[in-house]
A and B are shown apart, each in its own frame.
Chain A
């Protein structure tokens, strides 16, 4: 994947290879369902769609920016302290995101509370820095960051969708289960609000994905 360093240029911006960087993490390279990374945040912030969306966007911003920064610095970073450098870049970006959220979407920032800070420890980000950005040019790194964050976000939103719909009867805070259903005895599933159900929903997604794509079955 990373052999494009000494090749005669000039590659198109959206060559097949670059497009793969975007699309693979959505499917057979998905960070959550295939690589099983970043599960902690999936459990924590998918009770509502809104927090899921904000988390997905925040992670995308941090991941794309840190991938680009690390990729730009990749030839100057001394290998002995590369993890520290990566951490500092990610941590400062996360603090920036946290400050911006506090200033502009305060309610959401309160709901995400500690989980914004925990983006730092999201293993997907460090994983991509280490595996991709350190040995690739900025543009592919940027695409890789966006692609992986999108793959992460897609799972987050799917889980958030089912948990909010079945757990609270709402989507983005608006009631979607009509009142007459409640009148004839429908009850929100309180279990969906609890973290274990996130794990089960992710499990179902993994199941469906592997059922459709048998080549994944042996991967992990």
Chain B
């Protein structure tokens, strides 16, 4: 039989070795993992202007199409900062007037697009995405969504093209010029609705999450868009 002392020493030593091994591996692999995440972010940003970039070419294409990145505040003024590295999760915890809001300006064959990141809550965890606007700052060009842990086949469908492609051509201001973001409508948006898209059957809470994410996420940019339009 093994004594209690032996068992305690055995488990402590084992845990120590395992901890050392795993932290060493994590430190060693971290740069590669972070690079992968950056590339994925670039792919997602490009996907919101309907450009599909393969892994290998994402960095190159990002540099090619994204001509300007800037950080603005909710009054629409440009502030210091690196748009790409802004962590939206942290920003969303701050009061709206303190947030750093990233804007990516893309130029595709002469057309200018404005891409803004969004982040909100789905059913099980975070959902996030990128929405691109045409140069009129009213019409949506494309959207790209992703999620941490929505239910496969239900809420997780928001990251599928079938859902995302509904956003193209929708508008975020109504005819009177009042901010009116796109809502995800349960039971389906009426034909020709410029401010609504079809929700996902069985994914109501995720769909509502997308609605809130878009309205909250775009609301803070309203002044910026208005300033830009009046130029």
Contacts and interface: CB of A to CB of B under 8 A. Distances in A.
B14 A85 contact: yes
A192 B191 CA distance: 32
A102 B153 CA distance: 24
Give the secondary structure class of A's interface.
helix
A106 B29 contact: no
A92 B22 contact: yes
Contacts of A102: 29, 33, 36
Interface string A73-95: 00011111100110010001001
A103 B18 CA distance: 20
Contacts of B15: 88
B178 interface: no
A99 interface: yes
Interface residues of A, number: 22
Nearest to B37: A106
Contacts of B14: 85, 88
A96 interface: yes
Interface string A97-139: 0011011101100100010000000000000000000000000
Interface of B: 2, 6-7, 10-11, 14-15, 18, 21-22, 25-26, 29, 32-33, 36-37, 39-40, 55, 149, 153
19 contacts: A78-B6, A78-B10, A79-B2, A80-B2, A81-B7, A81-B10, A85-B14, A92-B18, A95-B25, A96-B21, A96-B22, A100-B29, A104-B32, A106-B39, A106-B40, A106-B55, A107-B55, A114-B149, A194-B153
